[in-house]
Structure 1
Amino acid sequence: MGTIQSILTQLCDRIAATGAAIRLAYDKIPISDPPCRYMTGAVTAVQLASPSDYAGGSLYPLKLQLEFHLLAPAEDTPGMLYDRLEQQLMTPILDSGYTVMQLRAEAPQIQPRLNKMELTAQVTLLCRYQRKEGSA
Protein backbone atom coordinates (compact mmCIF):
# COMPACT_ATOMS: atom_id res chain seq x y z
CA MET A 1 0.00 0.00 0.00
CA GLY A 2 1.28 3.48 -0.82
CA THR A 3 1.87 6.35 1.53
CA ILE A 4 -0.73 9.06 1.92
CA GLN A 5 1.43 11.32 -0.28
CA SER A 6 1.62 8.82 -3.12
CA ILE A 7 -2.10 8.07 -2.86
CA LEU A 8 -2.95 11.80 -3.00
CA THR A 9 -0.56 12.47 -5.87
CA GLN A 10 -2.01 9.56 -7.82
CA LEU A 11 -5.54 10.72 -7.07
CA CYS A 12 -4.81 14.29 -8.19
CA ASP A 13 -3.06 13.08 -11.33
CA ARG A 14 -6.16 11.09 -12.22
CA ILE A 15 -8.52 14.00 -11.58
CA ALA A 16 -6.29 16.31 -13.64
CA ALA A 17 -6.21 13.77 -16.47
CA THR A 18 -9.99 14.16 -16.86
CA GLY A 19 -9.46 17.78 -17.86
CA ALA A 20 -10.54 19.24 -14.53
CA ALA A 21 -8.33 22.16 -13.60
CA ILE A 22 -6.84 21.72 -10.15
CA ARG A 23 -4.78 23.71 -7.69
CA LEU A 24 -3.88 21.90 -4.51
CA ALA A 25 -3.66 23.48 -1.10
CA TYR A 26 -2.95 20.87 1.52
CA ASP A 27 -4.35 21.22 5.00
CA LYS A 28 -3.13 18.91 7.77
CA ILE A 29 -1.15 16.69 5.39
CA PRO A 30 2.58 17.40 5.18
CA ILE A 31 3.61 17.25 1.53
CA SER A 32 7.23 18.14 0.85
CA ASP A 33 6.86 18.85 -2.87
CA PRO A 34 3.48 20.40 -3.77
CA PRO A 35 2.61 19.57 -7.39
CA CYS A 36 2.79 23.04 -8.96
CA ARG A 37 1.55 21.73 -12.30
CA TYR A 38 -2.00 22.03 -10.95
CA MET A 39 -1.87 25.78 -10.33
CA THR A 40 -4.50 26.59 -12.94
CA GLY A 41 -7.30 24.99 -11.01
CA ALA A 42 -9.05 24.98 -7.75
CA VAL A 43 -8.88 22.22 -5.19
CA THR A 44 -9.00 24.42 -2.12
CA ALA A 45 -8.35 21.84 0.58
CA VAL A 46 -7.32 18.24 0.91
CA GLN A 47 -7.34 17.07 4.48
CA LEU A 48 -7.63 14.02 6.60
CA ALA A 49 -11.25 13.84 7.65
CA SER A 50 -12.16 13.44 11.28
CA PRO A 51 -13.28 9.94 12.27
CA SER A 52 -16.52 11.57 13.42
CA ASP A 53 -17.29 12.26 9.74
CA TYR A 54 -17.90 8.53 9.35
CA ALA A 55 -20.01 5.93 11.06
CA GLY A 56 -16.99 3.80 11.85
CA GLY A 57 -13.27 3.78 11.34
CA SER A 58 -11.55 4.25 8.04
CA LEU A 59 -8.13 3.94 6.51
CA TYR A 60 -6.94 7.33 5.19
CA PRO A 61 -10.26 9.18 5.39
CA LEU A 62 -10.08 12.25 3.15
CA LYS A 63 -12.13 15.37 2.88
CA LEU A 64 -11.61 17.09 -0.48
CA GLN A 65 -12.94 20.60 -0.96
CA LEU A 66 -12.72 22.06 -4.40
CA GLU A 67 -14.00 24.74 -6.67
CA PHE A 68 -15.00 22.87 -9.79
CA HIS A 69 -15.25 24.37 -13.27
CA LEU A 70 -16.76 22.40 -16.12
CA LEU A 71 -17.40 23.44 -19.72
CA ALA A 72 -19.97 21.35 -21.52
CA PRO A 73 -22.00 21.47 -24.75
CA ALA A 74 -24.64 24.22 -24.77
CA GLU A 75 -27.45 21.69 -25.14
CA ASP A 76 -26.64 20.05 -21.78
CA THR A 77 -29.40 20.34 -19.19
CA PRO A 78 -28.50 21.18 -15.57
CA GLY A 79 -29.00 17.50 -14.71
CA MET A 80 -26.53 16.47 -17.41
CA LEU A 81 -24.01 19.01 -16.08
CA TYR A 82 -24.25 17.56 -12.57
CA ASP A 83 -23.85 14.05 -14.00
CA ARG A 84 -20.66 15.20 -15.77
CA LEU A 85 -19.34 16.79 -12.57
CA GLU A 86 -19.99 13.59 -10.64
CA GLN A 87 -18.42 11.41 -13.32
CA GLN A 88 -15.30 13.59 -13.66
CA LEU A 89 -14.73 13.56 -9.92
CA MET A 90 -15.87 10.08 -8.94
CA THR A 91 -14.09 8.05 -11.63
CA PRO A 92 -10.52 9.04 -10.71
CA ILE A 93 -11.32 8.78 -7.01
CA LEU A 94 -12.69 5.26 -7.41
CA ASP A 95 -9.75 4.32 -9.65
CA SER A 96 -7.41 5.42 -6.84
CA GLY A 97 -8.93 2.95 -4.40
CA TYR A 98 -11.24 5.38 -2.61
CA THR A 99 -14.93 5.03 -1.94
CA VAL A 100 -16.91 8.28 -2.03
CA MET A 101 -19.07 8.46 1.08
CA GLN A 102 -20.59 11.84 0.30
CA LEU A 103 -20.49 14.33 -2.59
CA ARG A 104 -22.02 17.73 -1.95
CA ALA A 105 -22.11 20.58 -4.48
CA GLU A 106 -22.84 24.02 -3.04
CA ALA A 107 -23.47 27.39 -4.65
CA PRO A 108 -23.68 25.97 -8.17
CA GLN A 109 -23.76 28.52 -10.99
CA ILE A 110 -24.55 27.70 -14.59
CA GLN A 111 -23.56 30.31 -17.19
CA PRO A 112 -23.83 30.22 -20.98
CA ARG A 113 -20.40 30.77 -22.62
CA LEU A 114 -20.53 31.20 -26.42
CA ASN A 115 -21.62 27.73 -27.57
CA LYS A 116 -20.88 26.10 -24.20
CA MET A 117 -22.37 25.89 -20.73
CA GLU A 118 -20.12 26.48 -17.72
CA LEU A 119 -20.83 24.94 -14.33
CA THR A 120 -19.01 26.29 -11.29
CA ALA A 121 -19.63 24.78 -7.87
CA GLN A 122 -18.02 24.40 -4.46
CA VAL A 123 -17.75 20.65 -4.02
CA THR A 124 -17.03 18.71 -0.84
CA LEU A 125 -16.22 15.01 -1.04
CA LEU A 126 -15.84 12.66 1.90
CA CYS A 127 -13.86 9.60 0.86
CA ARG A 128 -12.33 6.58 2.50
CA TYR A 129 -9.56 4.41 1.20
CA GLN A 130 -10.47 0.80 0.46
CA ARG A 131 -7.70 -1.73 0.76
CA LYS A 132 -7.71 -3.84 -2.39
CA GLU A 133 -8.16 -7.45 -1.31
CA GLY A 134 -6.02 -10.06 -3.01
CA SER A 135 -3.80 -7.54 -4.79
CA ALA A 136 -0.45 -8.93 -3.76
Structure 2
Amino acid sequence: MIAMEALLTKHGDKYLEVLPKRIEAFIGWIGYWSIEDYKEKIEDIYKKRCKYVHDGNESTIEIKDLLFTDDILFNMLANIIYHINLFKSKEDIISFTEKVSAEHLLGIVGRKSKIRPKTLRFFTRLYTAEDYKKI
Protein backbone atom coordinates (compact mmCIF):
# COMPACT_ATOMS: atom_id res chain seq x y z
CA MET A 1 0.00 0.00 0.00
CA ILE A 2 2.81 2.40 0.86
CA ALA A 3 4.40 1.85 -2.56
CA MET A 4 1.10 2.80 -4.21
CA GLU A 5 0.90 5.90 -2.02
CA ALA A 6 4.39 6.89 -3.14
CA LEU A 7 3.43 6.53 -6.81
CA LEU A 8 -0.05 8.01 -6.74
CA THR A 9 -0.25 10.76 -4.16
CA LYS A 10 1.09 14.24 -3.70
CA HIS A 11 1.37 16.56 -0.73
CA GLY A 12 -2.03 17.63 0.52
CA ASP A 13 -3.97 14.71 -0.96
CA LYS A 14 -6.57 12.92 1.12
CA TYR A 15 -5.11 9.46 0.58
CA LEU A 16 -8.25 7.48 1.40
CA GLU A 17 -10.14 9.46 -1.26
CA VAL A 18 -7.54 9.63 -4.02
CA LEU A 19 -5.90 6.20 -3.86
CA PRO A 20 -8.91 4.18 -5.07
CA LYS A 21 -9.62 6.73 -7.82
CA ARG A 22 -6.04 6.77 -9.04
CA ILE A 23 -5.66 3.00 -8.89
CA GLU A 24 -8.95 2.71 -10.79
CA ALA A 25 -7.45 4.76 -13.62
CA PHE A 26 -5.02 1.91 -14.24
CA ILE A 27 -7.19 -1.15 -13.64
CA GLY A 28 -10.81 -0.01 -13.35
CA TRP A 29 -11.61 -1.26 -16.82
CA ILE A 30 -11.36 -4.89 -15.70
CA GLY A 31 -14.51 -6.69 -14.62
CA TYR A 32 -13.02 -7.51 -11.23
CA TRP A 33 -13.06 -3.80 -10.29
CA SER A 34 -16.82 -3.76 -9.82
CA ILE A 35 -17.58 -7.46 -9.35
CA GLU A 36 -15.16 -7.83 -6.43
CA ASP A 37 -15.56 -4.22 -5.25
CA TYR A 38 -11.89 -3.30 -5.51
CA LYS A 39 -12.60 0.26 -4.38
CA GLU A 40 -13.93 -0.95 -1.03
CA LYS A 41 -11.08 -3.46 -0.66
CA ILE A 42 -8.51 -0.72 -1.26
CA GLU A 43 -10.18 1.57 1.28
CA ASP A 44 -10.33 -1.26 3.84
CA ILE A 45 -6.69 -2.20 3.36
CA TYR A 46 -5.64 1.44 3.57
CA LYS A 47 -7.38 1.72 6.95
CA LYS A 48 -5.57 -1.43 8.11
CA ARG A 49 -2.29 0.07 6.89
CA CYS A 50 -2.97 3.20 8.96
CA LYS A 51 -3.63 1.15 12.09
CA TYR A 52 -0.35 -0.66 11.52
CA VAL A 53 1.78 2.40 10.72
CA HIS A 54 0.32 4.75 13.32
CA ASP A 55 -0.68 2.37 16.13
CA GLY A 56 1.53 -0.66 15.56
CA ASN A 57 -1.57 -2.84 15.18
CA GLU A 58 -0.91 -5.47 12.54
CA SER A 59 -3.56 -7.90 13.80
CA THR A 60 -6.14 -6.86 11.21
CA ILE A 61 -3.85 -7.35 8.20
CA GLU A 62 -4.42 -10.71 6.53
CA ILE A 63 -2.38 -12.60 3.95
CA LYS A 64 -5.17 -12.05 1.41
CA ASP A 65 -4.71 -8.28 1.90
CA LEU A 66 -1.00 -8.53 1.15
CA LEU A 67 -1.58 -10.67 -1.93
CA PHE A 68 -4.28 -8.30 -3.19
CA THR A 69 -2.07 -5.22 -2.84
CA ASP A 70 0.88 -7.08 -4.37
CA ASP A 71 -1.24 -7.94 -7.41
CA ILE A 72 -2.51 -4.36 -7.75
CA LEU A 73 0.99 -2.92 -7.44
CA PHE A 74 2.38 -5.45 -9.93
CA ASN A 75 -0.27 -4.52 -12.50
CA MET A 76 0.22 -0.80 -12.01
CA LEU A 77 4.00 -1.08 -12.36
CA ALA A 78 3.69 -3.37 -15.39
CA ASN A 79 1.42 -0.84 -17.11
CA ILE A 80 3.64 2.09 -16.20
CA ILE A 81 6.69 0.31 -17.58
CA TYR A 82 4.86 -0.92 -20.68
CA HIS A 83 3.73 2.66 -21.36
CA ILE A 84 6.91 4.39 -20.24
CA ASN A 85 6.50 6.95 -23.02
CA LEU A 86 3.32 8.17 -21.27
CA PHE A 87 4.62 7.97 -17.71
CA LYS A 88 7.97 9.71 -17.52
CA SER A 89 7.39 11.13 -14.05
CA LYS A 90 5.18 10.90 -11.00
CA GLU A 91 3.43 14.03 -12.25
CA ASP A 92 2.61 12.25 -15.52
CA ILE A 93 1.12 9.34 -13.58
CA ILE A 94 -1.05 11.58 -11.40
CA SER A 95 -2.10 13.71 -14.38
CA PHE A 96 -3.18 10.57 -16.23
CA THR A 97 -5.30 9.42 -13.29
CA GLU A 98 -6.93 12.84 -12.98
CA LYS A 99 -7.80 12.86 -16.70
CA VAL A 100 -9.38 9.42 -16.41
CA SER A 101 -11.40 10.67 -13.40
CA ALA A 102 -12.54 13.67 -15.46
CA GLU A 103 -13.72 11.30 -18.19
CA HIS A 104 -15.77 9.44 -15.59
CA LEU A 105 -17.52 12.66 -14.62
CA LEU A 106 -18.46 13.04 -18.28
CA GLY A 107 -19.79 9.48 -18.41
CA ILE A 108 -16.87 8.10 -20.40
CA VAL A 109 -15.89 4.85 -18.73
CA GLY A 110 -14.12 1.59 -19.39
CA ARG A 111 -12.82 0.90 -22.86
CA LYS A 112 -14.55 4.03 -24.23
CA SER A 113 -11.82 6.14 -22.64
CA LYS A 114 -9.81 8.41 -24.91
CA ILE A 115 -7.15 8.80 -22.21
CA ARG A 116 -6.65 5.25 -21.01
CA PRO A 117 -4.53 3.30 -23.53
CA LYS A 118 -6.25 0.28 -25.06
CA THR A 119 -3.04 -1.61 -24.43
CA LEU A 120 -3.31 -1.57 -20.64
CA ARG A 121 -3.01 -5.07 -19.25
CA PHE A 122 -4.15 -6.91 -16.17
CA PHE A 123 -2.51 -10.09 -14.99
CA THR A 124 -4.34 -12.31 -12.54
CA ARG A 125 -2.87 -14.88 -10.30
CA LEU A 126 -4.81 -17.59 -8.58
CA TYR A 127 -3.46 -18.41 -5.17
CA THR A 128 -3.80 -21.89 -3.72
CA ALA A 129 -4.07 -22.97 -0.11
CA GLU A 130 -0.44 -24.05 -0.44
CA ASP A 131 0.56 -20.50 -1.42
CA TYR A 132 -1.07 -19.20 1.76
CA LYS A 133 0.86 -21.73 3.86
CA LYS A 134 4.18 -20.57 2.40
CA ILE A 135 3.65 -16.95 3.37
TMscore range, shorter length: under 0.3
The structure whose residues are more often helix, as a share, is: 2
TM-score by length of 1: 0.22
The structure whose residues are more often strand, as a share, is: 1
